[in-house]
């Protein structure tokens, strides 16, 4: 538990917690051995060691079925579509991907890029699907579309398209009338009753870099907006984009594969350069008329589009400085947009997908807001609760629009962040968040109060785990997937019981002490008392994934280790969470090499209580101590924690990492001369920035994968959010560059390996080639591994095995 490792800041910085940490670990485990040795080959082979884990979990519109994608036991990269009958508990395969796609189809460039943006590029078979009516499901596969119909006498499949073109971003319209999709840069629709196909937007003009109904690169990669068209609830209207990328620079990208080189002229808006121009239209399918709602770019962005009724559409735009999200609403008949309200921040705003329509006058959204100053409880030196006064900080919370005005009412509040709104039942709202601890994501419910302060949320899910949630349409049940450091993901169907009574809530508000009769109220109280009613009930497992003798991980379970968690203190007093994982045969009298696994970038959290990365298990079994730390700038800690990196990326984050490394090296069981560091993407950047700013001898080896080396080479939306433009922050860009710190470095670098996919369309390969050239000019020796044809991730069993083997060969040579 966290508290077992907490020490005063001065003691942490002095390394005084080394002995207590060692004492918390089992020391009589030298005889613990694997039933089988965990090899690199087995790490990436099928079946997956984590066991079967459903993904893409969805309820049918009537709530009678739960559907999900499930990897095949003989090929963990290939997914089929399965269903679970809520009434009977029966589970069955709906669509066998091998039957619909016996041979793999070469993906279009657009589909490859979309899968890269969604981080599913390594998957095969069925990678997405869309519910239509309660008995129809749309399945894209192999570049064509298939409609699955569920009937009492069985399942039938109808192929809707069979063309040389690649159809993607397919949807069933809300009313079930049409199936729509993108083909050759335009939106098409098939009338399901007649089978007639028609184009709903103008044709694309590739020679002018104009397409319709699509999402431009930064919308996909940085805004998580993967579509460019949206149906109205009654199927009459279609909102769609016109994307003009003629203003965007062409960056020639050499797609270097094993046997050839293709030059791809990629429209890539680098920091400080022009963005695409995006227009938003509404088309009336009954009359054929079209109305332009707005035009954004190159200095604004279209972020979100949501229908709230048959004749009302909302859209959100973000300014180039990313300090304001503007919410606009448009209504028939003229569709003239009106500014409803804005969210503003001094440094930058973070986007959210939260937009839940309650009724014609009320919408739930989330925004990052300053909290009201209040009292709270912390643990005193003698272990008793002490009341302290908390200064307000911005955290993401739920707000509700009222009567179509710009007055927003707070539904949640507190010094913890909401993750996302997942559903509602009447005026009960369900959301995921980190109210209990930053290390765990839970499902909570709260009531919308007509007046007064927000109601206190109630945690519904079991502590000690992290959860992901899919709510039933009626809000009475949910599918929950949970995992912990000792239990791989389990997926169950849960019933929600009655909420706590007003008396319970009043007692909690009045006492605010850990001896309450109900749920834990402060970070001090870790367990729910037995007198507290269970807020949820497990109906049945969809995938229990029990760690029994038949589990794929069973031959390796004896040597399984779990991380210890603790906290350190940053220079500004903020808390940094870390995890440390020791070898299964750990002996406190010996010393071990250590591996610092780093990411360090925004919107990511690596220290949390869930089923860990099995690569960490492999490292620990090879005799390494694995250390992770979430520095300032990372996710789920509030805006103040994030904002530290504003206009100076790669500077405060490195100082936090070095606080962690100093603590790590102060432990008596760590060999301070054998510490390595590695990371990928932003983690690759952090690896380079850390070794360049660390004192000589801090690290013996470093592996930097797909690193950004100069933020002037990365895209507008991501980079400018944190750094402003290069024109407005020239000094910040210079000092956040790897090359600046390479110039400042006088001490020798640790042993270095660079790794990059040669077709990377996100962090382009020239980030690494420029660093290679600079190191060569300086006479700095380094090792290099490049992967022909691979993009930002190295995909597939063979290449994943090769990459891990390469890393281990390098690390073992220099750390052992």
| Residues classed as catalytic | 681, 760, 792
Q: What is the largest CA-CA distance in the chain?
A: 81
- E strand or H helix at 141: strand 136-141
Q: How far apart are CA 267 and CA 217, in angstroms?
A: 8
List CB contacts of 641: < 8 A, sequence separation 6 or more. 574, 632, 633, 634
Q: How far apart are CA 443 and CA 428, in angstroms?
A: 13
Joined tokens for residue 421: 């709104």
Find the distance separating the first CA and the last CA of the chain, reported in whole Å.
31
Rg of the chain over CA atoms, in angstroms?
Answer: 27
Q: Which residue has the tokens 């300086």?
A: 778
Joined tokens for residue 299: 């200095």
| 368-401 residues labelled b (16+ CB within 10 A) or e (exposed) | bbebeeeebbeeeeeeebeeeeeeebbbbbbbbb
Q: 3-state SS of 558-604?
A: HHCCCCEEEEEECCCCCEEEEEEECCCCCCCCCCEEEEEECCCCCCC
Joined tokens for residue 271: 């920091």
User: Residue 297: left if φ>0, alpha if ψ -120 to 50, beta else—which one?
Assistant: left
Tell which residue, 688, 689, 705, 679, has the closest CA to residue 757: 705
Q: 3-state SS of 703-747?
A: EEECCCCCHHHCEHHHHHHHHCCCCCCHHHHHHCCHHHHHHHCCC
Crossing angle of helices 682-693 and 652-665, in 10° steps, is 70
- E strand or H helix at 615: helix 614-621
Specify burial of residue 280 (Cβ count, 10 A radius: 0-12, 13-18, 19+): buried
Q: How far apart are CA 335 and CA 100, in angstroms?
A: 43
Strands (E), 485-561: 487-496, 536-543
Say how many residues make up the chain: 816
Q: How far apart are CA 282 and CA 289, in angstroms?
A: 8
Q: Which residue has the tokens 């959100």?
A: 316
Q: Which residue has the tokens 């500077």?
A: 651
Q: How far apart are CA 272 and CA 298, in angstroms?
A: 11
DSSP 3-state of 805: helix
Partnered with residue 150 across adjacent β-strands are 155
List CB contacts of 331: < 8 A, sequence separation 6 or more. 311, 312
Joined tokens for residue 143: 């570049």
Partnered with residue 131 across adjacent β-strands are 137
Q: CA–CA distance from 596 to each of 102, 568, 609, 675 (Å)?
A: 43, 15, 18, 7
Query: Contact 458/535 with Cβ under 8 angstroms?
Result: yes
Query: Contact 239/335 with Cβ under 8 angstroms?
Result: no
Cα torsion angle, 543, 545, 549, 555, sign: positive
Compute, in degrees rounded to 10, the torsion defined by CA atoms 95, 101, 104, 108.
-90
């Amino acid at each position: 538990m966290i508290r077992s490792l907490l020490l005063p800041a001065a003691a942490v910085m002095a390394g005084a917690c080394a002995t207590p940490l060692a004492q918390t670990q089992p020391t009589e485990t030298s005889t613990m051995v694997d039933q089988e040795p965990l090899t690199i080959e087995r790490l990436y082979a099928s079946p997956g060691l984590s066991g079967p884990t459903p993904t893409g979990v969805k309820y049918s519109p009537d709530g009678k079925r739960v559907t999900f994608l499930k990897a095949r036991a003989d090929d963990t990269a290939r997914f089929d579509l399965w269903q679970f009958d809520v009434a009977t508990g029966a589970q069955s395969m709906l669509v066998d991907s091998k039957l619909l796609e016996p041979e793999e189809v070469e993906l279009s460039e657009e589909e490859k890029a979309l899968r890269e943006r969604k981080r599913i590029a390594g998957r095969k078979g069925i990678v997405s699907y869309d519910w239509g009516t309660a008995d129809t499901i749309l399945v894209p596969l192999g570049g064509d579309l298939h409609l699955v119909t569920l009937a009492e006498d069985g399942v039938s499949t109808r192929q809707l398209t069979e063309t040389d073109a690649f159809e993607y971003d397919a949807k069933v319209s809300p009313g079930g009338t049409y199936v729509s999709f993108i083909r050759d840069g335009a939106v098409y629709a098939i009338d399901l009753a007649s089978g007639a196909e028609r184009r709903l937007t103008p044709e694309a003009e590739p020679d002018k870099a104009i397409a319709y109904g699509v999402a431009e690169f930064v919308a996909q990669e940085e805004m998580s907006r993967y579509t460019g068209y949206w149906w109205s609830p009654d199927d009459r209207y279609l909102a769609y984009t016109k994307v003009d990328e003629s203003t965007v620079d062409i960056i020639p990208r050499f797609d270097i594969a094993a046997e050839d080189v293709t030059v791809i002229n990629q429209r890539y808006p680098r920091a400080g350069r022009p963005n695409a121009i995006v227009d938003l239209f509404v088309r009336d399918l009954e009359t054929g008329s079209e109305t332009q709602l707005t035009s954004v770019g190159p200095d604004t962005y279209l972020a979100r589009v949501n229908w709230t009724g048959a004749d009302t559409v909302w859209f959100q735009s973000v300014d180039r400085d990313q300090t304001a999200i503007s919410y606009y609403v448009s209504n028939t008949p003229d569709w003239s947009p009106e500014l409803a309200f804005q969210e503003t921040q001094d440094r930058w705003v973070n986007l959210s997908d939260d937009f839940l329509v309650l009724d014609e006058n009320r919408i739930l959204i989330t925004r990052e807001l300053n909290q009201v100053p209040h009292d709270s409880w912390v643990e005193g030196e003698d272990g008793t609760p002490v009341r302290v006064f908390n200064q307000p900080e911005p955290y993401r919370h739920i707000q509700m629009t009222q009567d179509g005005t710009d007055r927003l009412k707070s539904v949640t509040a507190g010094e913890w962040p909401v993750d996302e709104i997942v559903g509602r039942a009447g005026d009960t709202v369900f959301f995921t968040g980190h109210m209990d601890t930053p290390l765990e994501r839970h499902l909570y419910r709260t009531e919308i109060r007509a007046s007064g302060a927000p109601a206190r949320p109630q945690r519904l899910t079991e502590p000690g785990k992290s959860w992901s949630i899919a709510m039933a349409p009626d809000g009475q049940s949910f599918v929950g997937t949970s995992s912990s450091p000792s239990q791989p993901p389990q997926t169950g169907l849960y019933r929600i019981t009655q909420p706590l009574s007003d008396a319970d809530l009043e007692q909690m508000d009045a006492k605010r002490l850990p001896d309450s009769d109900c749920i834990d109220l402060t970070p001090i109280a870790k367990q729910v008392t037995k007198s507290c009613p269970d807020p949820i009930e497990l109906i049945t497992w969809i995938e229990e994934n029990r760690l029994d003798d038949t589990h794929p991980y069973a031959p390796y379970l004896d040597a399984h280790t779990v991380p210890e968690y603790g906290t350190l203190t940053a220079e500004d007093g903020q808390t940094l969470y870390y995890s440390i994982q020791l070898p299964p045969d750990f002996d406190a009298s010996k010393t071990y090499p250590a591996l610092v696994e780093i990411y360090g970038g925004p919107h990511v959290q690596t220290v949390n209580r869930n089923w860990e990365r099995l690569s960490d298990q492999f490292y620990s079994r090879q005799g390494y101590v694995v250390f992770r730390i979430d520095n300032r700038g990372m996710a789920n800690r509030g805006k103040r924690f994030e904002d530290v990196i504003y206009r100076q990326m790669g500077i405060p984050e490195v100082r936090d990492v070095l606080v962690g490394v100093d603590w790590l090296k102060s432990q008596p069981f760590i060999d301070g001369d054998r510490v390595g560091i590695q990371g990928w993407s932003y983690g690759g950047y952090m690896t380079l920035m850390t070794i360049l700013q660390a004192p000589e001898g801090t690290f013996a080896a470093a592996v930097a994968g797909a690193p950004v080396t100069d933020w002037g080479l990365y895209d507008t939306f991501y980079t400018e959010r944190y750094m402003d433009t290069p024109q407005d922050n020239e000094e910040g860009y210079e000092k956040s560059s790897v090359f600046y710190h390479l110039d400042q470095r006088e001490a020798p670098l640790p042993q270095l390996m660079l790794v990059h996919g040669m077709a990377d369309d996100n962090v382009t390969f020239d980030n690494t080639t420029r660093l290679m050239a600079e190191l060569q000019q300086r006479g700095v020796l380094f090792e290099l591994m490049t992967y022909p044809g691979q993009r930002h991730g190295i995909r597939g069993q063979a290449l994943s095995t090769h990459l891990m083997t390469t890393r281990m060969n390098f690390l073992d040579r220099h750390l052992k």
